[in-house]
Structure 1
Amino acid sequence: MKQGQVCRWLLLGVLGVAVAGCSKGGAGGDVFTETGQDPPLGDGADGGSSGDGGEASPSEGETVAERVSDAIPPVAAGTLRVGTQTVTAEMTAPLLGMALPELKDRLFVVDQVGMLWRVNLADGSKEPYLDVSSLLVPVGIEALEGYDERGFLGLAFHPQFATNGLLYTYTSEPVSGNADFTFPKLGSNCTGAPSGLTPDHQNVLREWTVSNPLDLASRPQATSRVVMRMDWGNYNHNGGMLAFGPDGLLYVSTGDGGGEDDQTCQVNGDKKPTIGHSPLGNSQDTRLIYGKMLRIDPTQRTSANGQYGVPADNPFVKDARYLPEIYALGLRNFWRFSFDTPTGALIGGDVGQITIEEVDVIRAGGNYGWRVKEGTAAFDTQAFELDASGETDGIPIQLVPGYPEGLTDPIAQYGHEHEKDEQGSATIGGFVYRGTAIPALSGKYIFGDYSSSEESSPPKGRLFTLSDLTDDELRGSVPGQLHEVQSLTDKPIDLHVLGFAQDANGELYVLGNESGIPKGQTGQLRRLVAP
Structure 2
Amino acid sequence: MVRKGLLTGAVLGLVGAVAVEARAAQQQDAQVQAAEEGAGDEAQAKKVLDALPGVLRGTLRVRTETVATGMTAPLLGAAAPGVPGSLFVVDQVGVLWRVDLSSGAKEVYLDVRDLLVKVGIAAIGGYDERGFLGLAFDPQFETNGLFYTYTSEPVSGDADFTFPKVGATCEKAPSSLAPDHQNVLREWHVASPTDAASRPDATSRVLMRVDWGNYNHNGGMLQFGGDGLLYVSLGDGGGEDDQTCQLNGDGKATIGHSPLGNGQDPTLVYGKLLRIDTRGTSSANRQYGVPSDNPFVSASALGIRPEIYALGLRNFWRYAFDAPSGLLIGNDVGQGAIEEVDVIRAGGNYGWRLKEGTALFDPQAFLATPEGETDGTPVELSPGYPAAVVDPVAEYGHQHRTTNQGSASIGGYVYRGSAIPELAGRYVFGDYSADESKAEGRIYMLDQTVDQLGTGEQTPTPSTRARVVNLTSRPLDIFVEGFARDASGELYVMGNRMGIPKGKTGELRRLVPVR
Question: Which TM-score applies when normalising by structure 2?
Answer: 0.91
Which residues of 2 match residues 230-269 of structure 1 at below 5 A? 230-269=210-249
Q: Could you list the per-position Cα deviations for residues 305-344 of structure 1 after superposition, in whole angstroms to 9, with x for gaps in the alignment?
A: 1100000000111113420000000000000111111112
**1:206-245 → structure 2 map (5 Å cutoff):** 206-245=186-225
Overall identity of the aligned pairs, in %: 65
Q: Which runs of 5+ in 1 are unaligned?
A: 1-11, 30-58
Q: For 1:381 and 1:477, locate their aligned partners in 2 and report how far apart those are by CA, in whole Å.
A: 28
Cα 1:124/1:161, change in 2 over 3 Å: same
Match of 2:477 in 1: 494
Counterpart-to-counterpart distance in 1, 2:90 and 2:257? 29
Between stretches 106-115 and 183-192, larger displacement belongs to: 183-192
Q: Which residue of 2 aligns with 1:396?
A: 378
Return the offset for 1:60: 9.4
2:434 alignment partner in structure 1: 452
Which one of the candidate residues 123, 126, 130 is aligned to 2:110?
Answer: 130
Tell me the secondary structure at the aligned position of residue 201 of structure 2: coil
Q: Which moved more, 1:379-388 or 1:340-349?
A: 379-388
Asked if 1 retains the 8 angstrom alpha-carbon contact of 2:498 and 2:505, the reply is yes
* SS of 1:520 mapped into structure 2: coil
Give the match for residue 15 of structure 2.
15
Equivalent residue number for residue 503 of structure 1: 486
In 1, Cα distance between equivalents of 2:482 and 2:55? 20
Written as runs of structure 1 = structure 2, the 5 A alignment for 1:23-422 is: 23-25=28-30, 63-141=43-121, 143-320=123-300, 321=302, 322-384=304-366, 392-422=374-404
- Deviation of 1:420 after TM superposition, in Å, equals 2.6
Indicate the residue corresponding to 1:39 in structure 2. Answer: none
Offset, 1:473: 3.2
8 A contact 1:330–1:369 mirrored in 2: yes
CA–CA separation in structure 2 for the residues paired with 1:27 and 1:514: 39
| C-alpha separation in 2, matches of 1:104 and 1:143 | 39
Task: Quote the Cα distance in structure 1 between the aligned partners of 2:69 and 2:371.
Answer: 37
AA partner of residue 25 (structure 2):
G
> Could you say what secondary structure the match of 1:67 adopts?
helix
Most deviating of 244-253 and 191-200: 191-200
Q: Does the CA contact (< 8 Å) of 1:385 and 1:395 recur in 2?
A: no
Displacement after TM superposition at 1:27 (Å): 5.7
Q: How many residues are paired up?
A: 489
Aligned pair in 2 of structure 1 residues 527, 13: CA closer, same or farther (>3 Å)?
closer
Decide whether the 8 Å contact of 1:117 with 1:130 is kept in 2.
yes
Shift of 1:203: 0.2
User: Which has a greater percent of helix?
Assistant: 2
Deviation of the 1:178 alpha carbon:
0.9
* Counterpart residue type for residue 503 of structure 2: G
Alpha-carbon spacing, 1:386–1:77, altered in 2? closer, same or farther (3 Å): farther
* 1:412-432 superposed Cα distances (whole Å, 9 cap, x missing partner): 100001113211000000000
- What is the CA–CA distance in structure 1 between the aligned matches of 2:103 and 2:286, rounded to whole Å? 44
**Structure 2, unpaired ranges of 5+:** 1-11
Give SS of 1:283's match.
helix
C-alpha distance after superposition, 1:222-267 (max 9, x if no partner): 0001000000000000000000000000000000000000000111
Normalised to the residue count of structure 1, the TM-score between the two structures is 0.89
Matches of 1:435 and 1:251, distance apart in 2: 24
How far did 1:189 drift? 3.3
Of stretches 139-148 and 117-126 in structure 1, the one that deviates more from structure 2 is: 139-148
Distance verdict in 2 for CA 1:286–1:465, change over 3 Å: same
